Structure 1
Amino acid sequence: MQSSNYWLDICNLAAVFDQQSIPYQFIEETALMIQGVPVKLEEVAIEVQWDLVESVHGLFTPYGPTPIERTKDIGSFHFEMEGTSVRVKCVYNKAIRTDPFRIQLERDGLHYWCQSLYTKRRNPRYEEVINQHLYDLQMRMTEQNQVAWNQNNYQALINRYGAPEEVADKIKQHPEGRLGSFYRYMEPVDGKKIAHLMGSNGIKGIALSLLGADVTVVDFSQENAAFAVEVAGAAGVNIQYEVSDVLSFKGEGSEDLYDFVLMELGVLHYFINLEPLVRVIHRLLKPGGQLVLHEFHPISTKLITSKGKKHKVSGNYFDPMIENRQVAFSKYSSERESEKAQVLQRKWTLGELITAVADIGLVVKTLDEEPNQKVHDIGIPKLFTLVAQKPS
C-alpha cells in the first residue's frame, strides 16, 4: 500500500460506517498508524459490532468480499478497495461501544474511531516502536508544558499566596500543617534526604526543610524556582532547586541517594508513559528508601462529577486519551495569559499506576484512599497516598 492511499481509504471506510450508524474501530497496525506510531501497514484492519457483521459484509458487495469465516470467537472477511487490502473482523458477544480503550481521534476535520495504542504497549511486536513514539511525544509535551509554566507564573504565585515573606511566615508557624495527610508516612524527617519531584512553588519542600530534612526540589519552571528560593530565604532555610524536567534529571551523585521521593497533587497526568518516571524514582531512592505519592483519586478526576447533592458518572475511568488542559495556576493569571497557558495531560487508573510501580521492582507498602470531606460527597474517594519501597 502507498501512504497516499492510507488516509483516503480509512476516511472512506469511516464514512461508510458512520453513515450506517455501525459501531466500529480501526485496530492493530491501522490504529497505531492513525495515532502517529510509525508502523508498516500491509492492510487496513477494522473491528465491527458482531451482530452487524453480515450487514457490513453486504455493504461491500461491490468489492467482492470473501465469505465470512467463522470460528468460535471471531468472524472475519477480506476485500480489496481501490488497491487497498481491507480486513473486517468481529468478536462475538463483544459490544464495540463499551470497549474502554476505544477512542475517537480527529484529523483534518474528520473523526475516526480506533483502539488506543496502550492496548498494544506490552505486545513484544509493538512494544519498542510504541515506547519510542511515547517518548518522542513526551518530549514534545514537556516543551509545551514548560512554556506554559513559564508564562508569568511568578506573578500568579504572588497573586495566589502573597509576597514571599508573608508565605515564609505562614509556613514557619506550622510547617507540618503545610504537608497534609501524606506526612504521617514520612515523619520524622529530621536528617532525611528528600527529592520532591515536580515540587512546583517549593512550599512543601520548605516545610520539610524547616522540619530538618535535606530537600531537593526538581521542577522545570524557572518562575517556580524564583518564588521558592525567595520563600526559602525568607524562612531561613536552604533548599536545592534543580530546574529540570523529571525525566532528564541527572543530578550529580543522585543515584541511590534519597530516603524519600515525594510527588503530590496533580503531577501524574503530565506523563503519558509511567515506566520512564518509575525508572527515575527507582534510581533516586536508596535501598530501603520510599516513594510517597499523594494524588487525586481517579474516581474523582476521571469518572464522577459532582454538583451539590448531585453526582453523575460523566467520564470513562479507563479513558487513555491525551487532552489539552489549562495549567493549574491559570485562574490566578490575567485573562490574556491564561488563554496561552495550555498543557497536555493523560490521566491514569490506580491499576495502571500500581502495575508500573510493581514492574520496576518497588514493593507497595500502603495504598490509602481518602474520602471527600464535603458533606454531599461522602463516600466518594478524593485523594490517595501510595507508599512503595525500594528493596534493601
Structure 2
Amino acid sequence: MAQKIIENPAWRLHPFYKYFGNVKDKKIVHLLGSNGIKGVALSVLGAHVTVVDFSQENERYAQKLAEAAGVKMDYIRTDVFSIPMETVQDSADFVLMELGVLHYFVDLQPLIQVIHSLLKQGGQFILHEFHPISTKLITSSGKKHKVTGNYFTPNFEEQRVAFSKHMGDEAEGSLGKVLQRKWTIGEVVTSIANEGLVIRVLEEEPNHKNHDIGLPKTYTIVAEKS
C-alpha cells in the first residue's frame, strides 16, 4: 500500500484533491482519518498532516504505513470532541473529512464548532461525502432503481458496523450494531453556514457505474474561515 501511494498520491485523494492546490508545507487535520491512507498520501505530497481517530488499530496501521512510505505523520487517538486544542487550535490550513463519517454524529453543530476552532483564518474545511440521494432515498439493483426511503426523515437507522464486511458471516452475531443519522445536503450546508464558515464550493459528483449514470454518488463542500 505504501508503494502504491508513493507512485500516485493524488489518485488517493480524488476527486477533492483539486481543492487543496499545492499542499507542500500546509498543515492539514484529517478528522476521523481512519487508517491514514489519505493522510499518508497528503504527507507524500509535502503536507504536515495530523490524523484524528479513536481506533487503536487504525493508529497502529497508519503509523506503520507512514513509516513504510518514508513520511512523518502525527496521529491523535481520541474522540473528535476530546482533541487537545492547545496543540492544534487556529492552526490548520485545511480540515478534511471524507466518506461515511457524518452519519455517526447526532448533532452537526458541535462538530462544525470543532472544525472552526481547528482552522486558522483563511483556512478551509473540505468535506467529501456520500450523496444523500444514494444513501437516504434510492435503492439500486442492476438497472432497477426504487425510491425506498424518505429523504427528509431525521430518524436513526440501525446498521452493521463498517468493518463487519471483512469479518465473515460467522462473526455477525458477535458484532455490535451502530446507529446512523443520515443528513440531507441542506442540513449539512446550514450547519456549516451557522458557524460562520463561508461556503465556496458545493459540487455534486455523478455515479460512473453504467446502470447508475445520472444519479449523484458523492458531493464535496469547501468552506472557508474568513
* Corresponding residue number in structure 2 for 1:168: 2
> 1:322 Cα shift?
1.4
| Distance (Å, rounded) in 2 between the aligned partners of 1:355 and 1:182 | 21
1:381 to 212, 216, 219: 216
Distance 1:334 1:231 in 2: 25
Work out which of the residue numbers 102, 108, 115 in structure 2 matches 1:281. 115
Higher RCO (C-alpha under 8 Å, 6+ residues apart): 2
Aligned pair 1:197/2:39, yes or no? no
**Correspondence for 1:320 among 149, 154, 165:** 154
Structure 1 position 252, deviation (Å): 3.1
The 1:335–1:376 alpha-carbon spacing in structure 2 relative to 1, beyond 3 Å, is: closer
- Between 334-343 and 288-297, report the one with greater CA deviation: 334-343
Task: Name the % identity.
Answer: 60
Offset, 1:251: 3.9
Matches within 5 A, 1:159-238: 167-238=1-72
Measured in 2, the distance between the counterparts of 1:298 and 1:247 equals 25
Alpha-carbon deviation of 1:242? 0.5
For 2:206, the equivalent position in structure 1 comes to 371
**Offset of 1:334 from its aligned partner?**
3.8
Q: What residue in structure 1 maps to residue 78 of structure 2? A: 244
Give the structure 2 partner of residue 359 of structure 1. 194
Is residue 2:125 matched to residue 1:291?
A: yes
Aligned length: 225
Cα deviation for residue 315 of structure 1 reads 0.1
**1:75 aligned residue:** none
CA distance in 2, matches of 1:230, 1:249: 22
Report the equivalent of 2:95: 261
1:146-201 superposed Cα distances (whole Å, 9 cap, x missing partner) = xxxxxxxxxxxxxxxxxxxxx11111111111111000000210010000000001
Under a length normalisation based on structure 2, what TM-score does the superposition of the two structures give?
A: 0.97
Please say if residues 330 and 341 of structure 1, whose CA atoms lie closer than 8 Å, have aligned partners that are also in contact. Answer: no
Give how far 1:341 is off.
Answer: 4.1
Mind listing any 5+ residue stretches in structure 1 that lack a counterpart? 1-166
Q: For residue 121 of structure 2, what is the amino acid of its counterpart?
A: P
Amino acid at match of 1:373: H
Q: Following the alignment from structure 1 to structure 2, what is the Cα–Cα distance between the partners of residues 283 and 261?
A: 10
Partners of 1:198 and 1:307 in 2: CA distance: 30
Kindly state the Cα deviation for residue 370 of structure 1 after the two structures are TM-superposed.
Answer: 0.5
- DSSP-derived class of the 1:252 partner: helix
Q: Distance in 1 between matches of 2:177 and 2:168?
A: 14
- After the TM superposition, which residues 319-358 of structure 1 pair with which residues of structure 2 at under 5 Å, given as runs? 319-339=153-173, 340-358=175-193
Cα distance per residue 1:218-276 (max 9 Å; x no partner): 00100000111011111111110100111221243311110000000000000010000
Alignment partners' CA distance in 2, 1:334 and 1:377: 28
Any gaps of 5 or more consecutive residues in structure 2?
none
- TM-score, normalised with respect to structure 1: 0.56
Structure 2 Cα separation of the partners of residues 274 and 220 of structure 1: 18
2:165 and 2:12 map into 1 onto residues whose CA distance is: 22
SS state at 1:329 partner = helix
Residues 222 and 338 (structure 1), Cα distance of their counterparts in 2 relative to 1, 3 Å cut: farther
